[in-house]
Structure 1
Amino acid sequence: MKKIFSVAAVALFMQTAVFAQTTYKVDKAHSRVTFTITHLAVSDVDGVFKDFDATMVAEKADLTDAKVNFTANTASVNTDNDKRDGHLKSEDFFDAAKYPTLAFVSTGIKPAGAGKFKLAGNLTLHGVTKPVVFDMLARTGVNPMSKQPVTGLKVTGTIKRSDFGFGSKYGSPMLSDEVTIAANGEFAKTN
């Protein structure tokens, strides 16, 4: 009898855990993914990815167990300069024909103050996957139009392009090795 009760209790717990997960999808109209690189050690050049997607899954309201997944279409890179954008899509940089997406998959999240976290994960860029850690600020609220919960994530950090073999023809006198990433996402509950 104890064994049957234990099995039933475990099954109930697992069922509750599955139903307790909440999935959030990024609202692209209220989200943006940008990067900044320094040119000739004197000026910063900003860019965005126009085509991207992101989801977040969490069981806990404080997001300490959140799993974040992000992808961007590398051919959607935009720096407001057609010639530069074409060069960025070429084999010299993103090689968009060979590597059409860049991706981030979180591996862990640690609280770092009120609404602040350290978001660890694997970033895949230019066919290379490396562990990275970003700062993340999370804010929650309710959309007054839909009356549904929303979560805003601001993710920032710096990566080294040399870690990914990205733009290796262009050394740091021309382009900084460090690239600053800033992503602002508004996430709506889907379940």
Structure 2
Amino acid sequence: MKKFMSLFLLTMLTVSVYAQKVLVSDPAHSRIQFSVIHLTINDIVGNFETANLTINADEKNFLNSKMSFDVDVNSINTHIEARDNHLRSADFFDVANHPTMTFTSTSITKGKQKNYYNVNGNLTMHGVTKPVSVVLVYRGSVVNQMNKKDTHGYQVMATIKRSDFNVGPGFPEAVISDQVRIKGDFELTQK
């Protein structure tokens, strides 16, 4: 009986390992974009050029999958060097002390549209961790003709408040909106 239980547990472990597919983002085709409203009249858009998305996909039931992303905050790019340096400073992101932003999912549920998912998780930014919800959109899969790998497209969208993370507290909403819209576009391949 003991031998049977050991064999059974080993078989179950093997099955659960094979049911997982680890997808990682391609840095050349992945980034996170953000936008805020400046002076209540104009959208200012920027990117975090270095962002990595990982999905531990449960091939039998995607709702059991896990998602995480991390961002190199120093890679911020609004195409204005002086503004980028200010955003890296202690007035905003304080990259010297908080160089990374991370998100780890805690649950995934189906959205109202096909291939849309609601992902709850914890976002850590500027030394503060808060629960947030993001929308994950599966945009399909193709075989990349350059490397012959199955390539999966995912998009992440969310709206957060910078005040929740103490980013730019010295700048009122009349100067920079509290709400920050985020859109991440990622191409992923199996690890």
Fold conserved (TM > 0.5)? yes
Whether the aligned pair in 1 keeps the contact of 2:108 and 2:118 (CA below 8 Å) is yes
Structure 1 counterpart of 2:18: 19
Question: Structure 2: 5+ residue runs without aligned partners?
Answer: none
What CA distance in whole angstroms lies between the structure 1 residues aligned with 2:138 and 2:4? Answer: 40
Q: Distance in 2 between matches of 1:62 and 1:185?
A: 21
SS at match of 1:131: strand
- Structure 1 residue 98 and structure 2 residue 97: aligned? yes
Q: Confirm whether residue 135 of structure 1 aligns to residue 135 of structure 2.
A: yes
Aligned partner of 2:121 in structure 1 is 121
Corresponding pairs, count: 189
Q: Deviations over 1:99-120 (max 9, x none)?
A: 0111111111111131110011
The answer to whether the 8 Å contact 1:140/1:149 transfers is no
- Structure-2 separation of matches of 1:66 and 1:184: 19
Structure 1 residue aligned with 2:181: 180
Where do 4+ consecutive residues of structure 1 move more than 4 Å?
none
- Secondary structure at the residue paired with 2:63? coil
Which residue pairs with 2:109 in the alignment?
110
Structure 1 runs not aligned, ≥5 long: none
SS in 2 for 1:93: coil
Aligned twin of 2:8? 9
Name the counterpart of 2:190.
189
Kindly indicate whether residue 165 of structure 2 is the aligned counterpart of residue 164 of structure 1: yes
Distance 1:9 1:61, change over 3 A: closer
Q: What is the CA–CA distance in structure 1 between the aligned matches of 2:79 and 2:70, rounded to whole Å?
A: 21
> What is the CA–CA distance in structure 2 between the aligned matches of 1:19 and 1:62, rounded to whole Å?
13
The whole-number CA distance in structure 1 between the counterparts of 2:27 and 2:80 is 22
**8 Å contact from structure 2 (residues 30, 51) kept in 1:** no
Identity within the alignment, %: 37
